[in-house]
Amino acid sequence: MKIYNTLTKKKEEFVPITPGKVGIYVCGPTVYNFIHIGNARPMIVFDTLRRYFEYKGMEVNYVSNFTDVDDKIIKKSIEEGVPAHEVSERFIAECKKDMEGMNVKPATHHPKATEEIDGMIEMIETLIEKGYAYEKNGTVYFRTRECDGYGKLSKKNLDDLTAGIRIAVSDEKDDAMDFVLWKPKKEGEPFWTSPWGDGRPGWHIECSVMSKKYVGATIDIHAGGEDLVFPHHENEIAQSECCNGVTFANYWMHNAFLNIDNKKMSKSAGNFFTVREISEKYPLQIIRFFMLSAHYRSPLNFSDTLVEAAKAGLERILTAVDNIKTVMPGLTEEAVAADEANIAALSGLVEKYEAAMDDDLNTADAIAAIFEIVKLANTTVKDGSKAYAAKLLATIEELCEVLGIITEKEEEILDSDIEALIEERQAARKAKNFARADEIRDLLLEKGIVLKDTREGVKWSRA
Ligand code: AMP
Ligand code: ZN
């Protein structure tokens, strides 16, 4: 498999450190709110990468952190008058619900920054001992100029970076590009004791520590959104390589951004959506399919038109699966003449799918190969044997499963559909069409929706 490595700016053959095993570290969300639809992109893309390695028979150690101490979390905790960990724990739980809805597998480990402070203090101590960090008034800084190769991931040069800085250089730091490893506590903020006084870690150090602990000093693949290349990932490399003396990550993968209606998502522009909000409008399986319909390194535009197109595409696959299941019982047990050519065509398309996935996880082309299999199924299943139909079915199911797409046609019922059916039921009752009213109640019940007639009107709940 070839992977585009941000570090070398080239597609490279992927060679794991240990044959048959892959260690992946993906920077996770800062948990101060529901995750937004942009955060969902790396989750879906790298979960698909993991699934594809597993499909190839590799053992994957997939680690993704939760940043649970940060200015935004603290701000929210102050606004709500609750401890910071209450805010972060609440949104970790909500994030896990969204992940489940998007069929993103739980990571092998989901470390939290606040549970790894000791490891961070230890790494900072080593960096100080080795001369890569220094303390000033309770703040510990990383000395970027001491670090050979600083800027190699983002292709930035320290002198250019310094020249670009317009803000007054803090007199405390030795150099404008030095970054914080540890900061002193502020009144009302969570803190931990350290050799440099009470305080909390800077952002970057957590990933250096957690990736080493849960994956290893050198990891196969480090991933995240492209906004993380600089400074976050550049600083992670600096901390880890200066501390451990070995390469930090062999391959760096970065997803491009998701925009809404061709504009950068932002709360102030009013085009900011959480995954939870979107799930009211579309089943999350459609969102997952939509995200994978573009290559992960291409910017992706989120619009109703494009999501509707993804919905129609997914429907085509699910209908084909349904169709195979319907005709299969009537097919002959013995092999038929057409089987050989059909099975060869199917194998060719599976190869096409794998070639696309092997080419830097090109899910767009992999989905195109699935559509070709769907077309083959629609045109040939009736004239093949039962064994051929079973092979078609198992193949479509397996290739979709790698993309995290479930081919069972179980439509999730949306709130708006439920409300519409309840209205129709009320109208049927008014017209004394009780048969239809009961039919609607039973239909909703089948989908797990329970109706309750109350004095204030009909109330419903999901069973
Ligand atoms: P954050 O919580 O901001 O640290 O983001 C968590 C992950 O989501 C990181 O990998 C970000 O790069 C990624 N991310 C944030 N916004 C977007 C976006 N609009 N499109 C794609 N990825 C994003
Ligand atoms: Zn990180």
Lowest mean pLDDT among 76-90, 94-108, 158-172, 279-293: 158-172
Ligand 1 pocket check for 227: Cβ under 6 Å = yes
**How close is the Cα of 228 to the center of ligand 2, in Å?**
8
Quick one: which of 2, 65, 5 has its CA closest to 253? Answer: 5
Ligand 1 pocket check for 291: Cβ under 6 Å = no
Contacts 24+ apart (CB under 8 A), 414-423: 414/280, 414/281, 414/282, 414/283, 415/280, 416/280, 416/281, 418/444, 418/449, 418/460, 422/451, 422/458, 422/460
**How close is the Cα of 37 to the center of ligand 2, in Å?**
19
**How close is the Cα of 70 to the center of ligand 2, in Å?**
13
* Residue 392 host element (H or E): helix 386-402
pLDDT tens digits for range 299-332: 999 999 999 999 999 999 999 999 999 999 999 9
Which of 227, 236, 252, 291 to mutate to test ligand 1, by most ligand atoms within 8 A of the CB atom? 227
Is pLDDT of 189 > 60?
yes
Atom of ligand 1 minimally distant from the CA of 27: 10
What mean pLDDT is predicted for residues 220-232?
97
Helical ranges in 102-192 per DSSP H? 117-129, 158-163
Higher pLDDT, 206 or 446: 206
* Residue 165 host element (H or E): none
What DSSP character marks residue 360? T
Torsion sign over Cα 325, 331, 335, 337: negative
pLDDT tens digits for range 114-124: 999 999 999 99
Helix (H, G, I), strand (E, B) or coil at 62: strand
What distance lies between CA 235 and its chain's CA centroid?
Answer: 22
Ligand 1 pocket check for 33: Cβ under 6 Å = no
Lowest mean pLDDT among 102-111, 165-174, 215-224, 286-295: 165-174
Which of 32, 36, 39 to mutate to test ligand 1, by most ligand atoms within 8 A of the CB atom? 39
Ligand 1 pocket check for 38: Cβ under 6 Å = yes
CA distance 323 to 318: 9
CA distance 248 to 255: 19
Q: Give the bridge partners for 259, in sequence order.
A: 301
User: Is-contact 34 91, C-beta < 8 A?
Assistant: yes
User: Is-contact 175 192, C-beta < 8 A?
Assistant: no
Is pLDDT of 458 > 60?
yes
Residues 6+ apart with CB under 8 A from 397: 321, 407
Region of 281 on the Ramachandran plot (φ > 0 left; ψ -120 to 50 alpha; else beta): alpha
Is pLDDT of 449 > 70?
yes
Nearest CA, atom 8, ligand 1: 39
Is pLDDT of 232 > 90?
yes
Ligand 1 pocket check for 299: Cβ under 6 Å = no
Nearest CA, atom 1, ligand 1: 29
Ligand 1 pocket check for 258: Cβ under 6 Å = yes
Is pLDDT of 170 > 60?
no
Nearest CA, atom 7, ligand 1: 39
Q: Nearest bound ligand to CA 70?
A: 1
Q: Nearest bound ligand to CA 236?
A: 2
Is pLDDT of 414 > 80?
no
Nearest CA, atom 18, ligand 1: 38
Is pLDDT of 166 > 60?
no
**How close is the Cα of 145 to the center of ligand 2, in Å?**
21
Q: Which residues surround ligand 2, an ion (CB under 5 A)?
A: 27, 207
Other residues' Cβ atoms within 10 Å of the Cβ of residue 445: 12
Nearest CA, atom 16, ligand 1: 38
Ligand 1 pocket check for 30: Cβ under 6 Å = yes
User: Is-contact 224 11, C-beta < 8 A?
Assistant: no
What mean pLDDT is predicted for residues 450-460?
85
**How close is the Cα of 203 to the center of ligand 2, in Å?**
8
Is pLDDT of 165 > 70?
no
